[in-house]
Amino acid sequence: MARIVEVRQAVLTKNDARARELRRTFGSAGVCVVSLVSSPGAGKTALLCETLARLRSRYRVAAFVGDLATDNDARRLRESGAPVHQITTGTVCHLDAEMVARALAGWDLSTLDLLFLENVGNLVCPASYDLGEDLRAVLLSVTEGEDKPQKYPTIFSTADLCVVTKLDLAEAAGYDDALARQALDAVRPGLEVFRVSVRTGAGIPEWLDRLEAEFARKRAASCPA
């Protein structure tokens, strides 16, 4: 066990270095990078599909999507009309900075405003891997239980914001928003929360506004007047 911890530490240190390089690359190109993490099936692809479709008339958007197997998600996301690259991880349970760097080969960052990184569905391992993103959004679906933040504290405490998804199922699932807020505050007091339903469109404008504000902040930072 000591040996695997030591090797894991070395892997994370290397990842952190690679992520810093990525962050510099994204920074100098003025590309705003947003990653999505969650349980399998919490609705990352549905939210991202809607996000790409709504933003692409005004911004140059693209997405990288990670999965162990299949390119189902890339195919779904391409229906938005945005360029999408599938990263197939095989048995690896998370994206890492090197995978993102490799996927960047052949992309001209000067043609992009916002890049989305959809991680493998997993509430544990992706938490430890910095991908050079500006914002990490963790999704929590109303059907998976309000206590998930306390049971998977690292991924919630390392996220920049939380998106509660599938709001249209809240009543059927007996979702208790106060309980979820309590669980979030226990691991990350005051974490910014959006509540959305891709089906009904509820909360989507607020989510898009947040992304646009992040993009504006990034552009202002990378091109000082």
Applying CB under 8 A, the residues found at the interface with a second copy are 3-4, 7-8, 11, 39-42, 67-70, 72-73, 91, 93, 120-125, 128, 141, 143-145, 147-148, 150-154, 166, 168-169, 172-173
Start-to-end Cα distance in the chain: 52
- Closer of 30 and 145 to a second copy (Cβ): 145
3-state secondary structure the chain: CHHHHHHHHHHHHHHHHHHHHHHHHHHHHCCEEEEEECCCCCCHHHHHHHHHHHHCCCCCEEEEEEECCCCHHHHHHHCCCCCEEEEECCCCCCCCHHHHHHHHCCCCHHHCCEEEEECCCCCCHHHHCCCCCCEEEEEEECCCCCCHHHHCHHHHHCCCEEEEECHHHHHHHCCCHHHHHHHHHHHCCCCEEEECCCCCCCCHHHHHHHHHHHHHHHHHHHCCC
- Output the smallest distance, CB 96 to a second copy, in A: 10
- Closer of 61 and 131 to a second copy (Cβ): 131
- Closer of 15 and 51 to a second copy (Cβ): 15
CB-neighbour burial class of residue 182 (10 A; exposed 0-12, middle 13-18, buried 19+): middle
- Closer of 94 and 218 to a second copy (Cβ): 94
- Closer of 57 and 91 to a second copy (Cβ): 91
- Output the smallest distance, CB 129 to a second copy, in A: 13
- Output the smallest distance, CB 78 to a second copy, in A: 16
- Closer of 54 and 148 to a second copy (Cβ): 148
- Output the smallest distance, CB 220 to a second copy, in A: 37
- Output the smallest distance, CB 128 to a second copy, in A: 8
- Output the smallest distance, CB 130 to a second copy, in A: 16
